[in-house]
Amino acid sequence: MGEARFEEALRLATRRELPGNRQRAVELLEGLLAEGKGGARSRFLLASLHDDHPEGMARAIALYRAGLEEEPGNSAARNNLAIALMAADRAREAADELVEVVVSDPAYGLACQNLAQLALEHLPEDALAELAARIAARDASGQAPGRLMRAAAEAGRQQALDSLYGSGHALKNLLGLAGSKARALARRTDDEQAGELAESLARLYGDWAAFLKLARASALRRETCDLNEVALEVAQSFAEPDRPALVPAASPVLATGDRTALREAVLNLARNAREACPRGRVAIATESEPSGRWVCLRVSDEGPGIQAATLRRLFEPGFTTKAQGSGFGLAIAERIAKAGGGRIEVRNLPDRGAQLALYLPVASEVPARLAPRLRSEEFTR
């Protein structure tokens, strides 16, 4: 009976945005815990129903701590406890919890990402070096401090992009207005130079809009998404005969991420493959990794493959080998993957063509939380 009630609470929690679902799930889980039947799973799920609004944060912290006494190795729960502590202005305690995950579970990359964000935006300036030293003292592999520093570099880069985003929108609007005026002038006068100016402004507007999209590619929601459905939606956005072939897994491939952003990332991967292979086969395949921690979506093509010099710069914003390309499509896809705690791996296939594989954390009962980010006007260093 207790298991059935938990499964019902889980079903309601996955659709908590619908009226009444959150409250009913909370009631079911509180009832289980009151009867001594809940265990760590119920505590973690109940905590996740409290930690996404301020008035529930104290209860969420208590539930995560109680659950971790039963399951101390649950990295997702410890990560979420840290985020709840950050929201409660207990940044030092949050850092302690994240350090524990970074050291004990190197494969859980989201903790490293959150720890870097915490150090840069919510702790004193020397905190990053202190945290790296603490991790190094406990990390037998010697790799964890490097992972933290790379995550910090990425977080710092995002700070710079965020600070540019507000003024960048104003510039985009000015470019759009100037382009509109230039097109109108070209139509009225048949002036060749006005036409060339309009075309140049249109290209600049497109590139700048893509850059701004790149700047915001980390501001994502976290929800459960079926990669089979995402692949189908992307494939159907192509007209025949350009439509990619689908090789879906037999069962749902559930990832944690922002569905809209993931669809854009996969669309960019598929467009890149089709442009590299105008007439050959492009395929989108999905699968769950045997480890049970990752799911994968692979986009393969039968094009000429990727040269070594290009491979090194493939995700560099603005880099392109195409005459009409902006160079932002793959960069945006990679940032969406990283923002969701995932990655993109690239390889040339043995016979011909290339493959880009998008790896994302598998969806869990308790949705993983991201560290809160400061608004651009709050950046002080």
DSSP assignment letter at 292:
S
Residue 280's SS3 state is: coil
Range of weakest confidence among 24-33, 167-176, 300-309, 370-379: 370-379
Question: 280 and 251, same structural domain?
Answer: yes
Position 96 pLDDT exceeds 90? yes
First and final CA of the chain: distance in angstroms?
Answer: 54
Question: 112 and 242, same structural domain?
Answer: no
Q: How many residues are listed for the chain in this entry?
A: 381
- For residue 253, name the pLDDT band (cuts at 50, 70, 90): very high
Segment 98-107 shows an average pLDDT of: 90
Segment 309-332 shows an average pLDDT of: 77
Question: 158 and 208, same structural domain?
Answer: yes
Reported as a single tens digit per residue, the pLDDT across 107-163 is 788 888 889 888 888 888 888 889 999 999 998 888 888 888 888 887 776 666 666
Write down which residue in 215, 238, 260 finishes a domain: 215
Reported as a single tens digit per residue, the pLDDT across 256-314 is 888 888 998 999 999 999 988 888 899 999 999 887 888 999 999 999 888 888 888 88
- For residue 213, name the pLDDT band (cuts at 50, 70, 90): low
Question: 300 and 200, same structural domain?
Answer: no
Write down which residue in 169, 187, 215 finishes a domain: 215
Residue 247's SS3 state is: strand
- For residue 347, name the pLDDT band (cuts at 50, 70, 90): very high
Residue 146's SS3 state is: helix
Q: What residue has token string 């960069």? A: 331
Write down which residue in 183, 198, 215 finishes a domain: 215
Residue 199 pLDDT: 80
> What is the rounded (10 degree) CA torsion for 229, 230, 232, 233?
120
AA letter at 199 = E
Reported as a single tens digit per residue, the pLDDT across 199-208 is 887 777 776 6
| Residue 285 within any structural domain of the chain | yes
What pTM did the predictor assign?
0.67
Q: Are strands 282-288 and 343-348 parallel, antiparallel or unpaired?
A: unpaired
Residue 57 pLDDT: 92
Distances (CA, A) of 220 to 23, 260, 262: 25, 9, 10
Position 372 pLDDT exceeds 60? no
- For residue 27, name the pLDDT band (cuts at 50, 70, 90): very high
Question: 86 and 115, same structural domain?
Answer: yes
Reported as a single tens digit per residue, the pLDDT across 176-195 is 778 787 888 888 887 787 78
Position 373 pLDDT exceeds 60? no
CATH number of the domain within which 132 lies: 1.25.40.10
Q: How far is it, in rounded angstroms, from Cα 49 to Cα 26? A: 7
Question: 340 and 205, same structural domain?
Answer: no
Residue 326 pLDDT: 65
Which residues, in sequence order, are CB contacts of 287 under 8 Å at separation 6+? 249, 253, 295, 296, 298
Distance of CA 271 to the CA centre of its chain: 20
| Residue 374 within any structural domain of the chain | no
| Residue 367 within any structural domain of the chain | no
Residue in 340, 348, 237, 243 with CA at minimum distance from that of residue 295:
340
| 282 membership: H or E segment, kind and range | strand 282-288
Residue in 304, 381, 318, 379 with CA at minimum distance from that of residue 348:
304
- For residue 221, name the pLDDT band (cuts at 50, 70, 90): low
Buried b (16+ CB within 10 A) or exposed e, 20-52: ebbeebbebbeebbeeeebebbbbbbbbbbbbb
Segment 228-236 shows an average pLDDT of: 94
Question: 165 and 259, same structural domain?
Answer: no
Q: What residue has token string 């969420």? A: 60
Query: Please, where are the H alpha helices in 35-74?
Result: 39-50, 57-70
Q: Is 55 exposed, middle or buried (0-12, 13-18, 19+ CB in 10 A)?
A: exposed
Give the chain's mean pLDDT: 83
Residue 379 pLDDT: 29
Question: 37 and 141, same structural domain?
Answer: yes
Q: Are 111 and 120 in contact (CB under 8 A)?
A: no
Question: 67 and 132, same structural domain?
Answer: yes
Question: 309 and 230, same structural domain?
Answer: yes
Position 321 pLDDT exceeds 80? no
| Residue 373 within any structural domain of the chain | no
- For residue 23, name the pLDDT band (cuts at 50, 70, 90): very high
Q: Are 341 and 109 in contact (CB under 8 A)?
A: yes
| Residue 183 within any structural domain of the chain | yes
| Residue 330 within any structural domain of the chain | yes
| Residue 7 within any structural domain of the chain | yes
Question: 183 and 86, same structural domain?
Answer: no
Residue 308 pLDDT: 84
Highest mean pLDDT among 82-86, 182-186, 350-354, 368-372: 82-86
Backbone angles phi, psi at 283, to 5 degrees: -130, 145
Q: What angle do CA 120, 122, 125 make, to 5 degrees?
A: 50
- For residue 335, name the pLDDT band (cuts at 50, 70, 90): confident
| Residue 381 within any structural domain of the chain | no
- For residue 378, name the pLDDT band (cuts at 50, 70, 90): very low
Proportion of the chain above pLDDT 70, given as a percent:
85
Q: How far is it, in rounded angstroms, from Cα 137 to Cα 125? A: 20
Range of the domain at 190: 152-215
Q: Are 288 and 249 in contact (CB under 8 A)?
A: yes
The number of domains in the chain is 3
Residue 375 pLDDT: 37
CATH number of the domain within which 279 lies: 3.30.565.10
Q: Does the bond joining 248 to the residue before it have cis omega, within 30 degrees of 0?
A: no
- Token digits of residue 350: 């043995």
Question: 42 and 156, same structural domain?
Answer: no
Residue in 258, 270, 266, 257 with CA at minimum distance from that of residue 230:
266
Q: How far is it, in rounded angstroms, from Cα 266 to Cα 297? A: 8
Position 367 pLDDT exceeds 80? no
